[in-house]
């Protein structure tokens, strides 16, 4: 480190280039600060306008169960119903996915389109193929999404989903994943609308989702 600094060149050149670099860095720093303040102000205004509405969800980049990279932008234009879980889940996820299948069936009967997603909290074991086989047992429309541990951690964080997957797992090691249990209803722009917990029956969840979708359609 020190040797390479000493090797740069004559003292004069070094001083002036340091001066230029410092000036440039300061300009850059103030410009950055100004930009940052503008962004902070915009963010605060945005938060004020959506007061009472928790900030849930956000952009993501994951891999679907066909092995295709997908981003949240791919799903804009339609409501999304997002569930987080894992395929090795012994009881809760299968129950919730059965419920999701019933919801989708009812919505389809009423001609309401929605994009249902299952995002795994267990990316180490839930490969695209595994998700594909697993979800086909419940409903053909449910799209499975997986990713690296970091990508999953990020999307869970933005949805405020708690999960306890160990970051590094030895092959064959058995473990359970504790995770939050909600269906997240997102509007066609990707904004959070509602979180439906386990207490909702399929019928109750369906009618609530319909209310949100109708309200959205009337608004736009």
176 binds Ni ion (CB under 5 A): no
Q: Are 124 and 147 in contact (CB under 8 A)?
A: no
Stretch of residues binding Ni ion (CB under 5 A), selected from 41-49, 78-86, 113-121, 155-163: 78-86
Going by C-alpha positions, the residue among 77, 61, 76, 213 that lies closest to residue 152 is 61
CB of 71 to Ni ion, least distance (A): 25
CA–CA separation, 122 vs 136, rounded Å? Answer: 18
147 binds Ni ion (CB under 5 A): no
Phi, psi of 180, rounded to the nearest 5 degrees: -70, 150
CB of 85 to Ni ion, least distance (A): 4
When the beta carbons of 26 and 92 are compared against Ni ion, the nearer one is 92
Instruction: Give the SS3 label for residue 129.
Output: helix
Taking CB under 5 A as the criterion, the residue among 56, 75, 82, 85 binding Ni ion is 85
What sign results for the dihedral spanned by CA atoms 137, 140, 142, 148? Answer: positive
89 binds Ni ion (CB under 5 A): yes
135 binds Ni ion (CB under 5 A): no
25 binds Ni ion (CB under 5 A): no
CB of 89 to Ni ion, least distance (A): 3
């Amino acid at each position: 480190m020190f040797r390479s600094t000493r090797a740069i060149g004559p003292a004069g050149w070094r001083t002036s280039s340091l001066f230029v670099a410092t000036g440039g860095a300061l300009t850059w720093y103030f410009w950055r600060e100004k930009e940052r303040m503008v962004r902070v102000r915009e963010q605060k205004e945005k938060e004020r306008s959506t007061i009472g509405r928790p900030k849930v969800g956000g952009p993501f980049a994951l891999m679907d169960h066909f092995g295709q990279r997908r981003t949240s932008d791919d799903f804009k234009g339609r409501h999304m119903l997002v569930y987080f879980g894992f395929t090795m889940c012994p009881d809760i996820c299968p129950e919730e996915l059965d419920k999701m299948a019933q919801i989708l069936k009812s919505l389809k009967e009423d001609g309401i389109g929605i994009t249902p997603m299952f995002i795994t909290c267990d990316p180490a074991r839930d490969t695209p193929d595994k998700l594909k086989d697993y979800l086909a047992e419940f409903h053909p429309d449910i799209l499975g999404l997986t990713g690296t541990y970091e990508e999953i951690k990020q999307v869970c964080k933005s949805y405020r989903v708690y999960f306890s997957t160990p970051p590094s797992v030895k092959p064959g090691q058995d473990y359970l994943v504790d995770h939050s249990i909600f269906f997240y209803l997102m509007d066609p722009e990707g904004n959070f609308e509602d979180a439906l917990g386990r207490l909702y029956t399929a019928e109750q969840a369906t009618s609530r989702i319909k209310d949100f979708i109708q309200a959205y359609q009337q608004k736009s």
